[in-house]
A and B are shown apart, each in its own frame.
Chain A
């Protein structure tokens, strides 16, 4: 596609509900990132994929958060048993970069705004 696409744009979940957020990166992009952006804050890194391999998940706040990218393209961020503190915008970004190459801009989607009530 022309850019990084995220769906849904908005999600309201009841506390305790499971949610799944989808990211369609730019075709051919190797690297994919998930960030969490709380209201009035800068984004915080959650996890990073290179193709289908999840190379860094150090930013996932708890074991309720799980991300996958099984075929090296579309990625899903799943949050189990949502809690109010999970309310945030979830941003996905992709880039062409291989691990040893320089440069390569990260392109962002418009994010999914998750509200847990």
Chain B
């Protein structure tokens, strides 16, 4: 069975500093996607960044980047120059690239940004 594990229920970072959120997953598939979603108090899931498993290059989106270690099944998110608006729940998610695109989610990490 595919699982996603986020081992850090809560994290905090000082404004303008860098923080890394951890995620590990378990799968026997070779073709899949990994995602980081942000969920603010409004509850709407917002896609932060995604990584295709067949791409060796780590994805980056402005201040957000990932460290994708396929052999170790690790997918961490680095947030640089943290801003107050980055405070939210962050969820790591996985899906196979097949007919069913359902996402499998971790339990989330609550990120606080201190001014």
Contact = CB atoms under 8 A, between A and B. Distances in A.
Interface residues of A, number: 29
Interface of B: 4, 42-47, 50, 52, 91, 93, 97-108
Given A89-B43, A91-B45, A111-B43, A45 B101 contact: no
The residue among B46, B91, B101, B108 with the most chain A CB atoms within 10 A of its own CB is B101
Interface stretch (A16-24, A61-69, A79-87, A92-100): A92-100
21 contacts: A31-B101, A33-B102, A33-B103, A35-B103, A40-B107, A41-B107, A42-B91, A42-B93, A42-B105, A42-B107, A42-B108, A43-B45, A45-B102, A59-B102, A89-B43, A102-B52, A104-B101, A106-B101, A106-B103, A108-B44, A108-B45
A55 B99 contact: yes
Given A42-B108, A43-B103, A48-B102, A93 B97 contact: no
B101 A48 contact: yes
Contacts of B100: 48, 55-56
The residue among A43, A48, A105, A109 with the most chain B CB atoms within 10 A of its own CB is A43
Contact of A105 (B50, B99, B108): B50
Interface of A: 31, 33, 35, 40-45, 48, 55-56, 59, 89, 91, 93, 95, 97, 99-100, 102, 104-106, 108-111, 113
